[in-house]
Amino acid sequence: MTHDRKPFTTELKTVMIDCHTFLRRRFWRDLHGTYTNFQSYSANRNWLCRLSLILAIAEAGATNDSSIATAESLRDENTSATSESDERTPPALSSEIELFEQGLLMLKVSYEEPTVDDIEALNLASHCSYILNRRKSAYMDAGQSIRLARSLGLDRPAPSSLSNVEREHRKRVWWTAFCIDRSTSAELGLCPAYAHKADSLDLLDSSSLTAEEKEEFYLAELLNMQIKVCEMKSDVIETVSTLKDKDIERPYEIIRECLDRLNTGKSFPA
pLDDT, tens digit, for every residue of 116-157? 999 999 999 999 999 999 999 999 999 999 999 999 999 999
CA 201 to CA 156: how far, in whole Å? 6
**Alpha helical stretches, state H, 19-134:** 24-36, 45-63, 79-82, 95-106, 116-131
Whether residue 23 lies inside any domain: the answer is yes
Whether residue 214 lies inside any domain: the answer is yes
pLDDT tens profile 168-208: 999 999 999 999 999 999 889 888 999 887 666 788 888 88
Whether residue 267 lies inside any domain: the answer is no
Cβ neighbour number for residue 107 with a 10 Å cutoff: 19
| Cβ burial, residue 65 (10 Å; 0-12/13-18/19+) | middle
Is the separation of the CB atoms in 116 and 124 below 8 Å? no
Whether residue 181 lies inside any domain: the answer is yes
Which residue range(s) make up the domain with 141? 8-66+93-218
pLDDT confidence of residue 233: 82
Instruction: Name, in order, each residue with C-beta under 8 angstroms of 208's C-beta and a sequence gap of 6 or more.
Output: 164
Whether residue 238 lies inside any domain: the answer is no
Instruction: Report the SS3 class of residue 264.
Output: helix
Number of structural domains found in the chain: 1
**Nearest of 107, 117, 113, 111 to residue 49 by alpha carbon:** 107
Whether residue 73 lies inside any domain: the answer is no
Selected residue with higher pLDDT from 177 and 244: 177
| Cβ burial, residue 59 (10 Å; 0-12/13-18/19+) | buried
Whether residue 74 lies inside any domain: the answer is no
Whether residue 3 lies inside any domain: the answer is no
CA torsion angle for 4, 24, 114, 99 (degrees, to 10)? 20
pLDDT band of residue 258 (cuts 50, 70, 90) is confident
pLDDT tens profile 69-80: 443 344 344 444
